[in-house]
């Protein structure tokens, strides 16, 4: 078996839904032994979205503990004593009420790195989910203030918070320190961090003007072809835009390729839509790929998984526990402060 960088590390994951389990999934992929502790009724994601639950928790050891029972609390404490990291994925204050706060656990294990993921951090304890964090991070504003307002199709705050939590755990391991650490991770801040290009561009625009995220610029858009399939073309660099116009024979559009607003924008989009509707996607892929332009097909999820497994480097792992159609049974049984 290939040695993975976190082999030999043990992580206790204590949370539900997406942020904490996402962090645990990343750490498990890197070789850590991840012990997921669920309440007696199981992680709520089992009912909300069984397929997503199976993905987020592939490879983990899932156990069920009732923290109101003395025997289960003893089991929990014994596991913490042998762990390297602990992920708290609950609302601020919940772990403290369950006897699983940092101040309690560091007495059991002074070397423990403890990551707390909550909506707005420990100093702002409010009920919230992903959409609330997107709203308060400025990110949702960018999606809504467009020509065609839209909502993000993925739980962005959840995902970025999970990834950042995993990064913080890994960075602590890299320090090879014997001192424990507490990390207070805000989903709101993680979402803003992951969307810095959108937020920075929005700050540069005049008040009241529609924000245009980088992915929806005129020079970086998707086009529907004659067969109903889609192409994505990224031509933010002027020389690439000029080459595309030359290949398509649209010289009259050469000078508006980098605009994100103004009268030329609608004209340019309409002209390109008319052009790409003339032939099927494969025709355009061959033509534009031969011209060394940044063009890709817009793949369905099934196609994307096949593509990544064919050409990727293990980003989409195949594990015995990753089975969307199989059952995943319920088992029976950033502010930081160092250890002083």
Instruction: Check whether 214 has a pLDDT greater than 50.
Output: no
Distance CA 181, CA 262 (A): 51
Helix, strand, or coil here: 88? Answer: strand
**Res 11: pLDDT:** 98
User: Burial of 34 by CB count in 10 Å (0-12 exposed, 13-18 middle, 19+ buried)?
Assistant: buried
Can 10-196 and 218-311 be said to share one CATH topology?
no
**Res 329: pLDDT:** 45
Instruction: Check whether 333 has a pLDDT greater than 50.
Output: no
pLDDT in tens, 23-44: 999 999 999 999 999 999 999 9
Question: Mean pLDDT over all residues of the chain?
Answer: 82
Instruction: Check whether 309 has a pLDDT greater than 80.
Output: no
Q: Where are the alpha helices (H) located in the chain, listed in sequence order?
A: 19-29, 45-48, 50-56, 70-81, 94-97, 102-108, 130-136, 139-144, 156-175, 187-194, 196-204, 238-248, 263-276, 281-290, 301-311
Average pLDDT over residues 153-177: 93
Q: pLDDT > 70: what percent of the chain?
A: 77
**DSSP output for 271-338:** HHHHHHTTS-HHHHHHHHHHTT--EEE---HHHHHHHHHHHSSSSS---TT--TTS--PPP---EEEE
Six-digit token string for 129: 């989910």
Residues 298 and 305 sit within 8 Å (Cβ to Cβ): no
Instruction: Check whether 318 has a pLDDT greater than 50.
Output: no
CATH assignment of 10-196? 3.40.50.10540
Token pair 């293990």: residue: 314
pLDDT in tens, 173-187: 999 888 999 999 999
Inter-axis angle of helices 238-248 and 281-290, nearest 10: 120
Q: How confident is the model at residue 202 (pLDDT cuts 50, 70, 90)?
A: low
Instruction: Check whether 330 has a pLDDT greater than 60.
Output: no
Distance CA 240, CA 217 (A): 14
- Lowest pLDDT segment from 17-21, 74-78, 105-109, 317-321: 317-321
Higher pLDDT: 145 or 204? It is: 145
Q: Where are the domains of the chain?
A: 10-196, 218-311
Q: Which residues contact 136 (CB under 8 A, 6 or more apart)?
A: 120, 188
CATH assignment of 218-311? 3.30.1540.10
Distance CA 239, CA 255 (A): 11
Which bin fits 300, alpha (ψ -120 to 50), beta or left (φ > 0)? beta
Instruction: Check whether 247 has a pLDDT greater than 60.
Output: yes
Average pLDDT over residues 161-178: 93
- Lowest pLDDT segment from 165-174, 207-216, 304-313: 207-216
**Res 277: pLDDT:** 95
- Lowest pLDDT segment from 140-144, 155-159, 321-325: 321-325
**Res 101: pLDDT:** 96
pLDDT in tens, 252-268: 775 554 444 556 666 77
Residues 297 and 231 sit within 8 Å (Cβ to Cβ): yes
Average pLDDT over residues 79-94: 95
- Lowest pLDDT segment from 6-15, 35-44, 102-111, 192-201: 192-201
Instruction: Check whether 143 has a pLDDT greater than 90.
Output: no
Q: How confident is the model at residue 300 (pLDDT cuts 50, 70, 90)?
A: confident
Distance CA 285, CA 291 (A): 10
| pTM, two decimal places | 0.76
């Amino acid at each position: 078996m290939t040695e993975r960088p976190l082999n030999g590390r043990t992580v206790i994951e204590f949370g539900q839904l997406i942020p904490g389990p996402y962090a645990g999934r990343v750490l498990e992929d890197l070789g850590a032994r991840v012990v997921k502790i669920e309440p007696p009724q199981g992680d709520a994601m089992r009912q909300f979205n069984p397929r997503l639950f199976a993905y987020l928790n592939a490879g983990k050891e899932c156990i069920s503990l009732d923290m109101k029972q003395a025997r289960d609390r003893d089991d929990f404490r014994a596991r913490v004593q042998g762990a390297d990291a602990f992920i708290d994925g609950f609302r601020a204050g919940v772990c403290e009420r369950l006897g699983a706060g940092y101040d309690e656990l560091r007495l059991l294990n002074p070397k423990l790195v403890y990551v707390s993921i909550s909506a707005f951090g420990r100093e702002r304890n409010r009920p919230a989910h992903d959409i609330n964090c997107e709203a308060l991070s400025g990110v949702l504003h960018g999606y809504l203030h467009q020509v065609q307002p839209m909502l993000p199709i993925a739980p962005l705050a959840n995902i970025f918070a999970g990834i950042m939590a995993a990064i913080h755990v890994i960075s602590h391991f890299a320090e090879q320190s014997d001192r424990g650490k507490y990390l207070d991770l805000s989903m709101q801040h993680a979402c803003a961090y992951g969307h810095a290009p959108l937020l920075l561009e929005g700050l540069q625009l005049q008040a009241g003007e529609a924000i245009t995220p980088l992915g929806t610029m005129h020079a970086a858009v998707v086009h529907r072809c004659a067969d109903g399939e889609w192409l994505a073309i990224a031509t933010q660099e002027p020389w690439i835009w000029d080459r595309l116009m030359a290949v398509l024979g649209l010289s009259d559009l050469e000078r508006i390729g980098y605009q994100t607003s103004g009268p030329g924008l609608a004209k340019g989009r309409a002209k390109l839509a008319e052009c790409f509707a003339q032939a099927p996607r494969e025709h355009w892929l061959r033509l534009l790929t031969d011209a060394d332009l940044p063009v890709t097909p817009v793949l369905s999820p099934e196609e994307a998984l096949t593509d990544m497994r064919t050409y990727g480097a293990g980003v989409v792992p195949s594990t015995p526990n990753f089975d969307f159609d199989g059952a995943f049974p319920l088992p029976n049984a950033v502010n930081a402060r160092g250890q002083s």
